[in-house]
A and B are shown apart, each in its own frame.
Chain A
Amino acid sequence: MGKLTREDILHIAKLAHLEIPEPDIPVRLAQFNDILSYVEKLNKLNTEGIEPTTQVLSEKKSMGTLLAPDIPGDSFAPDVAMQNAPARQDHFFMIPRMLEEEN
């Protein structure tokens, strides 16, 4: 696969909504490339025609896809449901303004 570069690492950070402080980049990059070159040992295996396993349970054992009975049940009061929000107003999550004001 070849080694990842500084640009690759910054691109992944952006996708993951994470920042890497500038001084940490070399160490992170080295650790990351170490791990990647280790996991690339999988390429030694010929997996042509092998079905991927996404889930170990067969449909039979896991009950497959079930639909819940269409009966209203108890649910949390809005105050309870939102008790862990870092910022809220009434029954809304608060976030900083998203749209710029017109100058």
Chain B
Amino acid sequence: MHHEPKSCSIIELRKMLDQKKISASELTKSYLDDIRRQDPKFNAFLTVTSDLALSQAKKADEQIASGQNLSLLTGIPLAIKDVILVKDVKATAGSKFLENFVSLYDSTVSARLRNQGAIFLGKTNCDEFAMGSSNENSAYGNVKNPWNIDCVPGGSSGGSAVAVAAFEAKGALGTDTGGSIRQPAALCGIVGLKPTYGRVSRYGIVAFASSLDQVGPMARRVEDVAAIFEGIAGYDPMDSTSANMPLESVATTLSRLDRKVQGLRIGYPKEYLPSGLSPEVRDNFFSALKTFEKLGAKIEEVSLPHTDYGIACYYIIAPAEACANLARYDGIRYTYRAPEVKNLKEVYTKSRTHGFGPEVKRRIFLGTFVLSSGYYDAYYRKAQQVRTLIRKDFDEAFGKVDVIATPTSPTPAFELGSKASNPLEMYLSDVFTVSISIAGLPALSMPCGFTSLNLPLGLQLIGKPFDEASLLRTAFMYESETKYYERMPSL
């Protein structure tokens, strides 16, 4: 069992592949079989790319046999969120609008993974255009949480989280605009990293909110997330917001992973522990802090005074950017056009009305309103000024501490349908993740325990800009101590 290829880490699996204990083709077939057998229960995949995966596996086996051009990801089967383009594969973004859309080219992240010999098992379900916190906004059905199939997996990268948690992929790519990697990772008991804004190229990603969107890795183990992160990160001239900042190699990060957290300063913001927070989430969080203390870290309370304004700020900025990005879906260029349209105006209006789902339309409405004449200063400009205040909060806190820790989500996975009729309540489930996106900081969610009903809880670690390496090291030390990944859902 110790070397079970599906439960071991990517680094262990790479060794097994190199030692010919298993071939990439056998591994890929085994994943494809499991997806075929069990995914109808979870609905994590929208497209399974069996032929592509098997041909990539064959090539990986040849590379492994020759010992040439090997990377940490050669032969590793991954799942890709359906907002990320993979050449010649469908990309629906969870929307009926793109039901038949086939990508003309690889996103930069897909191209990088492909060149490193990773295997693409398929495209994963998500909230439509990545807008949602429960995956219930997908046009292709709900995704079920493997820990309790009556519960949501979180969103919007719910399919990616479930593919990993249910052992249908070794790792996955998600995207995070206000929490869409971290919250589903928390609700499904896995690790998810939202890198610093600008760290990973957005070229070839279906755009939601361009000043917030980031691609990031999701996997069962911190070192897996580190390996995939290295595989996708770095400057890309195809993305004008791509940052040209030094990136620590995963080998360096991993070689330092066993260093003690001696002297590491971890801050916990009091505003992230409101009085209404469930005692289970609070107790669990404090016991995680105790673990860090035992490992040698210094724990101190910090303040992020504008926390309470995060959701309001986010739900102005993100819809404003979304309504501009989604203007391209006009019924002319992107596969869907409503039937029986009589004139050009109807091509636009009827295609958009029938092609978009309710939450996407709600956000287009909100964005259109806050940008409309007479309201721009009151809403959009105001939110951007508050964005400055939220960033300053973090700047000040990071003057005192190295890493900030919070619960990832105020609740564990909630029941399907329980928040579906109240959009505002659904928005509030992002309360602990949005401010980090607004500030553009890197943050990671990892398992930190379970509720009495056996639902996973997530710990969020927030880092300084472009310091994913410290975040990964801190997470790794906590993981080595707690080993929550050993607890698995019964499938």
Contacts and interface: CB of A to CB of B under 8 A. Distances in A.
Interface of A: 1, 4, 9, 12-13, 15-19, 28, 31-32, 34-36, 38-43, 45, 47, 50-57, 61-63, 65-66, 68, 76, 80-81, 83-87, 93, 95-98
25 contacts: A15-B368, A16-B365, A17-B345, A17-B348, A18-B353, A18-B364, A31-B424, A32-B369, A35-B427, A42-B309, A42-B312, A51-B385, A51-B388, A54-B384, A56-B439, A56-B440, A61-B243, A61-B245, A83-B102, A84-B104, A85-B335, A86-B335, A95-B332, A96-B341, A97-B343
Nearest to A11: B372
Contact of A32 (B244, B309, B365, B388): B365
A45 B350 CA distance: 40
A18 B383 CA distance: 25
In the complex, the 6 A-B pairs of residues with the closest C-beta atoms, listed nearest first: A56-B440, A52-B384, A86-B337, A47-B385, A53-B387, A39-B312
A84 B335 contact: yes
Contacts of A50: 385, 388-389
B332 A93 contact: yes
Contact of A35 (B104, B315, B349, B368): B315
Contact of B386 (A47, A62, A96): A47
Interface in B286-317: 306, 308-309, 311-313, 315-316
B385 A41 contact: no
B468 to A, nearest CB: 14
Contacts of B352: 16-18
Contact of B241 (A12, A41, A62): A62
Interface of B: 100-102, 104, 197-198, 211, 235, 237, 240-245, 306, 308-309, 311-313, 315-316, 323, 330-337, 341-350, 352-353, 356, 361-362, 364-366, 368-369, 372, 378-379, 381-389, 391, 423-424, 427, 439-440, 466
B323 A16 contact: yes
A85 B100 CA distance: 10
Contacts of A36: 369
Contacts of B439: 56
Nearest to B212: A56
B312 A56 contact: no
Contact of A96 (B102, B315, B323, B343): B343
A65 B237 CA distance: 11
A45 B309 CA distance: 9
Contacts of B368: 12, 15-16
Contacts of A4: 369
A43 B313 CA distance: 11
Contacts of A63: 235, 240, 242-244
B104 A61 contact: no
A83 B335 CA distance: 9
B34 to A, nearest CB: 32
Given A41-B309, A86-B335, A98-B343, A56 B424 contact: no
A97 B342 CA distance: 8
A86 B330 CA distance: 11
